[in-house]
Amino acid sequence: MPRLLPVLLLGALLLCPSAAQAQDLDGPNPLEGLKLYSDRDAPAWHSYRWLMRKGQEGRANLVYKIAREPRAIWVGRHTSPHFAKKVRLIIDGAKADGAVPIMTVMRAEATECSPTYQGGGPRADRVTRRWYRRLAHVIGGDRVIIGFEPDSLGTISCLAPSRRDDRLQLLRYGVNVLSKLPGATIYIEAGASDWEASFRMARKLRKVGIHKVRGFMLNVTHYDWTANNVRYGLDLSRRLGGKHFVINTAQNGRGPVHYKASNGRRINIWCSPKLRGLGPVPTTDTAHPLVDAYLWLNRPGYAQSCAGREIDWFLPRALTLARLATDWERPPRGTRFGHFKPYPPSVFGVP
């Protein structure tokens, strides 16, 4: 990072009250009153316009449920070539709209899970550190919301034992670099309510520097109910001295899909389970003052690589999510939503 950057960032902090609010780690909600950015060049908008031109107004209106809402734009290994230009397009597009962009940062390598997986090794760590510095330089003093490295802490055990502490140190480095940005409000990955015990997650969050940022984010890649994540987040917050948090509600309108294995263990279907719906729309009007917002930190309508597809916009999935959208934060009374389902995962499949 250029030596002048800390000076420039300090100047931005002094000149911009909204930037000062962004770095308020324990005070009033820094997201309150913000207009969040909805990128009009996103695939959801392209699909909406295409369907309208084709005269398919019903399907277009379904896609519009996604297109109209502010959603996170993911930046990471895939943001190339012309990384700096693409990040600036996000920020400048938001500024032109009088809005603030949400960026979900996913850069650390995590593509496998085995006792020997190195996560790219030391060389990849060096490249990722350089990438964090470059991202900070490109953002500068601009106002942004950052969701930091989804799944990174939940999948630490997917690395070889000798590499797990290295991964924590790498994430700590990224938190340290990005937390110096005066206009950034940052939430660190913290898994989901149906993933890992809160005491273990709290230990990891302390190691990567949760005290340097506003808080943590939940449910980014999972489908568990919002109410469950509120309870889990409050427990986690208590262990972290009252940190604030946000919950991803992009695809949890119908809750999770779980089943019981033969050994009685609960298995979570996280890879594009069928018949899921959009959840509560982004808002700062939440169930608890420690919950800064419900946000769409994931990208509803995108396929996942685990489903045998490239990570890209997939219109059939978008239509399903929109068709089954709800504003439910918990299972409706009289239903068994959210309970164990006595079916093997093959019944649910993926689109």
The CATH number linked to 78 is 3.20.20.40
Q: Which residue has the higher pLDDT, 20 or 73?
A: 73
- Residue 142 domain flag: yes
Q: How confident is the model at residue 244 (pLDDT cuts 50, 70, 90)?
A: very high
CA distance 182 to 14: 9
| Average pLDDT of the residues in 230-240 | 98
- Residue 183 domain flag: yes
Q: How confident is the model at residue 25 (pLDDT cuts 50, 70, 90)?
A: confident
CA distance 209 to 82: 30
Q: How confident is the model at residue 229 (pLDDT cuts 50, 70, 90)?
A: very high
Amino acid at 192: A
- Residue 49 domain flag: yes
- Residue 229 domain flag: yes
Q: How confident is the model at residue 274 (pLDDT cuts 50, 70, 90)?
A: confident
Query: What mean pLDDT value characterizes the chain?
Result: 89
Give the sheet arrangement for strand 215-218, strand by strand: 73-76, 102-106, 144-148, 184-189, 215-218, 244-248, 291-295
Locus of tokens 């003093």? 141
Percent of the chain with pLDDT over 70: 87
101: Cα within 13 Å, side-chain hemisphere: 21
Query: Is the pLDDT at 103 greater than 70, yes or no?
Result: yes
- Residue 106 domain flag: yes
Q: For the chain, what is the domain count?
A: 1
- Residue 27 domain flag: no
Amino acid at 119: G
Looking at residue 24, its pLDDT comes to: 77
CA distance 322 to 251: 9
Name every residue whose Cβ is closer than 8 Å to that of residue 346 and which is 6 or more positions away in sequence. none
Kind plus residue range of the DSSP H or E element containing 102: strand 102-106
CA distance 103 to 296: 11
Range of the domain at 229: 5-22+35-347
Looking at residue 239, its pLDDT comes to: 98
Query: Is the pLDDT at 36 greater than 60, yes or no?
Result: yes
End-to-end distance of the chain based on CA atoms, in angstroms? 43
pTM summary value = 0.90
Q: How confident is the model at residue 271 (pLDDT cuts 50, 70, 90)?
A: confident
- Residue 128 domain flag: yes
| Average pLDDT of the residues in 184-195 | 97
- Residue 28 domain flag: no
